[in-house]
Amino acid sequence: MTLSLPENEDVKFIYDQVDTHTDWFKDSLCMIASENLVSPLARQLQVSDFTDRYAEGLPGKRYYNGNIYVDKVETRVEEIAKKLFRSPVADVRPISGTTANISAFFAFIKPGDLYFAPHLNDGAHISSAKFGAGGLRGGQEMTYVWDKENMNIDVDASRKLLLEHKPKLCLFGRSVFLFPAPLKELQDTLQEIDCHVWYDGAHVLGLIAGGKFQDPLNEGAHILTGSTHKTLPGPQGGVIAGNPKDEDQWKAIRRRVFPGTHSSHHLMTMAAKGIAFAEHLEFGAEYADQIIRNAQALAQALHERGFTVMGEALGFTSSHAMVLDVTAQGGGATCALDLETANIITNKNLIPDDPGTAMRPSGLRLGAQELTRIGMKESHMTEVADLFKRVLIDKEDPMKVKEDSADFKKDFQTIHFCFSTDTPAYHKWRIV
Ligand SMILES: *Cc1c(COP(=O)(O)O)cnc(C)c1O
């Protein structure tokens, strides 16, 4: 133990839980598609006096004093973000992908306005649905027609609906994001109905920035929102990049970020985002490429071992993510629990036309981005697939498989695709 703790039961309890969790994850294969490991430098930048300060508004136009250096950093981080997303404008203040999305909904629609988004069963994030930010704004949601075979929007059928209903806003992007959204295919239609085009790239942001997925802001999207901690391996936060159709559209977004939905915007995270963005400019292309190779290798290996991997018609995935239909293995909830016991961390997930519910769905969602981050390559994916087979198909005792998962993980204890791993905030709180 590196900290000397006070004689306080609450403090000890919390410390012990975090400590135990950290040890567990050190020995586990982390495959939640929305998570990643922040680099040591970006982690370090979250421990400074920035942690204790406030900044409201934009650099040079603050409501408080004391922001001389904060302003310099924020201006620079915005510049790095524009380079990273190849965009004329960016806002690095949103404190999460969801607050970025709330800002976008409030900028783009009024209560009662119609918007299009993917259905939750087809992989949408809760924030786009009526129970989430879209509903909070009072928007009326319609969903695209879905092509289950290709795990993507059915372009022709959806085009018809769009022309008929003429929504104010079209939202693309999902939390189960296997293949690029058909922005190019729908571009003429979107221009004809003259709607706001918004791409929620939370999951695939690192792949987009690395130039290995699609380039939404060059395919007709006006704004790109995202989380800074999924395939883009930064601190937990959000970001908005834009190629707006006019100045008013971007001004509306800025106003919704502040004062609409944020006050101070977590300055330590803002600084750490800058480090993560700079690292991604350096290593992102190589990282994104390896993530996709690993996801495809893992999907293929799981398929060969008897799993129903969705999206087979198109090679299972062209992102970091994979989806399994695990109906035959007992359903998503049971499978995810057995895997957890075996030190393999995943999540249950709805699949298209799922007869189950969100708590008892038929699918399992996997991501290869974190395994890639710790140095795994295609050859290691077959070993991961073997562990899945032992737990879910051979029904071996997961407690036994757990030992082998932990053993396998021993060789993968450093973070790759970043500048350095040797910083003080690192010590036992990370897996190096
Ligand atoms: C994860 C996710 C979000 C929310 O991001 P947070 O940073 O967790 O708030 C929004 N949209 C999509 C598509 C996501 O997958």
Residues 313, 402, single domain; the answer is yes
Please state the atom number of ligand 1 nearest to the C-alpha of residue 228.
7
- Cα 2 to middle of ligand 1, angstroms: 34
Domain assignment of residue 30, yes or no: no
Domain assignment of residue 416, yes or no: yes
Domain assignment of residue 37, yes or no: no
Instruction: Decide: helix, strand or coil at residue 3.
Output: coil
Q: Is 175 in the pocket of ligand 1 (CB under 6 A)?
A: yes
Which residues of the chain carry a pLDDT beneath 50?
1, 425-432
Domain that holds residue 163: 43-279
Q: Is 349 in the pocket of ligand 1 (CB under 6 A)?
A: no
Residues 214, 294, single domain; the answer is no
Please state the atom number of ligand 1 nearest to the C-alpha of residue 124.
13
pLDDT single digits (tens) 197-220: 999 999 999 999 999 999 999 999
With contact defined as beta carbons under 8 Å apart, do 114 and 167 qualify? yes
pLDDT in the model for residue 422: 64
Among all chains, which residue has been given the structure tokens 């480090």?
Answer: 275
Residues 233, 93, single domain; the answer is yes
Residues 275, 299, single domain; the answer is no
Strand order in the sheet with 321-325: 308-309, 321-325, 363-367, 347-349
| Last-in-domain residue among 244, 279, 314 | 279
Q: Is 174 in the pocket of ligand 1 (CB under 6 A)?
A: yes
With contact defined as beta carbons under 8 Å apart, do 227 and 241 qualify? no
pLDDT single digits (tens) 58-69: 999 999 999 999
Q: Is 200 in the pocket of ligand 1 (CB under 6 A)?
A: yes
With contact defined as beta carbons under 8 Å apart, do 134 and 173 qualify? no
pLDDT in the model for residue 3: 67
pLDDT in the model for residue 207: 98
Domain assignment of residue 18, yes or no: no
Domain assignment of residue 115, yes or no: yes
Q: How many domains does the chain have?
A: 2
DSSP 341-376: HTTEE-EEE--TT-SS-SSS-SEEEEE-HHHHHTT-
CA distance from start to end of the chain: 16
Residues 270, 300, single domain; the answer is no
The model carries a pTM of: 0.96
Rounded CA-CA distance 105/373 in Å is 33
CATH assignment of the domain containing 407: 3.90.1150.10
Q: Render the burial of 167-183: b for 16+ CB within 10 Å, e for the rest.
A: bbbbbbbbbbbbbbbbb
